[in-house]
Amino acid sequence: MAEISRRGVLQAAGLMTLGAVSGCATSRGEDGDKALFSVAQPSIPIVGSNERFPVRRIYCIGRNYAAHAREMGSDPTREPPFFFQKPSDAIQYIAPGKTVDHPYPTLTKNYHYEIELVAAISKGGKDIPVETALQHVFGYAVGLDMTRRDLQAAMKKEQKPWEIGKGFDMSAPIGPLHPAASIGSFTQGKIWLKVNGQVKQSSDLNKMIWSVAEQISNLSKAFELQPGDIIYSGTPENVGPVVRGDVMEGYIERLPSISLKVV
Ligand code: MN
């Protein structure tokens, strides 16, 4: 009896390792056993390439523009950068040049947009110095950190994790990745979000409290970064709600805009 349950535990552990490492559980585990079923690997198209960028983890930085930190009730001058994650399959790819349906999620009555620059990591590392951090970036994209604000606020109030407000299905819309090798890096440039043609958020990337290089350096002290990790770099002020039927357009200078209809 004890022997059987121990074996069951070991098999379960083997499957978990396999899923965590490969993301696509079709190969064999350390014990030679095959995976029970395959799991889809989320990925993002790369501009000018037939290859896709496989997503390992989605990191997000909170309150990275002073005016947004203030609107969320915190003091931007004293806070070190902090991070949270979304599951990798929260990605929703938004092809430029068309308006893609985006489902209004369950449980919320206050669904918010947050326009953000996304940096994609293709070279891992830990304790990465700021000076060399951008060498770890493969490319950049426009992203939205969609948020069930009412649920996030309720969890904050109860000092519980934000998960339900941030890490739900389809909560990470993203445009195609533009390789840094061709487009360069992003330390400044316009960033805006419109709803039904009206500007709601408008700022400049140079107002980020922590630059992409500083985000990578800080993040790599807490977690060893791996190829496939992507970082949502925070949103400027004037986040706000959308309802079904609204069309959101997100833009970052030098990148094509993305357009989503909330359905
Ligand atoms: Mn955000």
Q: How far does the centroid of ligand 1 lie from the alpha carbon of residue 124, in Å? A: 23
Q: How far does the centroid of ligand 1 lie from the alpha carbon of residue 174, in Å? A: 13
Q: How far does the centroid of ligand 1 lie from the alpha carbon of residue 116, in Å? A: 7
Structural domains in the chain (count): 2
Give yes or no: residues 34 and 50 share one domain.
no
Q: How far does the centroid of ligand 1 lie from the alpha carbon of residue 235, in Å? A: 5
The rounded average pLDDT for each run of 10 residues, N- to C-terminus, in the chain (263 residues) is 40 40 60 93 97 98 90 82 96 98 98 98 98 98 98 96 96 98 97 98 96 97 98 97 98 98 98
Check residue 183 and give its pLDDT.
Answer: 97
Q: How far does the centroid of ligand 1 lie from the alpha carbon of residue 4, in Å? A: 46
Give yes or no: residues 65 and 21 share one domain.
no
Give yes or no: residues 69 and 186 share one domain.
yes
Check residue 26 and give its pLDDT.
Answer: 55
Give yes or no: residues 188 and 176 share one domain.
yes
Single out the residue of 123, 120, 168 nearest to residue 148, CA to CA. Answer: 168
Domain of 213, in residue numbers: 42-262
Q: How far does the centroid of ligand 1 lie from the alpha carbon of residue 150, in Å? A: 15
Check residue 259 and give its pLDDT.
Answer: 98
Give yes or no: residues 154 and 31 share one domain.
no
Give yes or no: residues 127 and 201 share one domain.
yes
Q: How far does the centroid of ligand 1 lie from the alpha carbon of residue 123, in Å? A: 24
Give yes or no: residues 141 and 25 share one domain.
no
Q: How far does the centroid of ligand 1 lie from the alpha carbon of residue 156, in Å? A: 15
Q: Say if residues 175 and 96 touch (Cβ distance below 8 Å).
A: yes
Give the pair of three-digit tokens for residue 71: 């609107």
Check residue 164 and give its pLDDT.
Answer: 97
Q: How far does the centroid of ligand 1 lie from the alpha carbon of residue 61, in Å? A: 6
* Distance between CA atoms of residues 212 and 78, nearest Å: 19
Task: Print burial letters for 10-47: b (CB count within 10 Å at least 16), e (below 16).
Answer: eeeebbeebbeeebebeeebeeeeebeeeeebbbbbbb
- Cα torsion 117, 123, 126, 128: sign: negative
Q: How far does the centroid of ligand 1 lie from the alpha carbon of residue 190, in Å? A: 17
Give yes or no: residues 71 and 168 share one domain.
yes
pTM listed for this prediction: 0.88
